[in-house]
Amino acid sequence: MDITQLNNEKYFVGKYADFKESRGWFVGSFFDEKHPCKTDKVEVQYAEQKAGHVCKKHYHQQKVEIILILAGRVVYIINDKKVEVRGGDFLFVDINNVVLGEFIEDTKYFSIHAPSIIDDKVRVE
């Protein structure tokens, strides 16, 4: 294969902290067609949450979720089982698992969803 032919000119260098208007999501299908970070393959978010914040019960039907904790501590209830993640840990959640998260400490983290499907989050009351 002639790799000199591999060049789609789609790349972007940015600061993930600059994406507050999109709730920290800086890669995914929710961007305008002309934006270089628009893709239906993956969603990536950087977020910071204060202690006491609760991520309400939800699940995804078509996309997996990976949460990488940089600093802090979060307790997740996944299908009624308690899981605690701290700085340096990650959490992988496959499709059709009900998740609720409570931030125990101020937390900095990345979320990765694949593929990028805008309306895949189903809230559970």
Q: Which span out of 7-16, 25-34, 62-71 was modeled with the highest average pLDDT?
A: 62-71
Q: Which domains does the chain have, with CATH numbers?
A: 17-123 (2.60.120.10)
Dump pLDDT digits (tens) for 12-42: 899 988 888 888 999 999 899 988 899 999 9
Whole-number Å distance between alpha carbons of 11 and 35: 10
Distances (CA, A) of 84 to 10, 51, 66, 90: 38, 14, 14, 10
Tell me what the mean pLDDT of segment 44-54 comes to: 97
Contact status, residue 24 vs residue 70, Cβ threshold 8 Å: no
% of the chain residues with pLDDT over 70: 100
pLDDT of 73 over the 90 cut: yes
Residue 22 has which token pair?
């999109």
pLDDT of residue 10: 82
Find out whether 55 and 78 touch, Cβ atoms under 8 Å: no
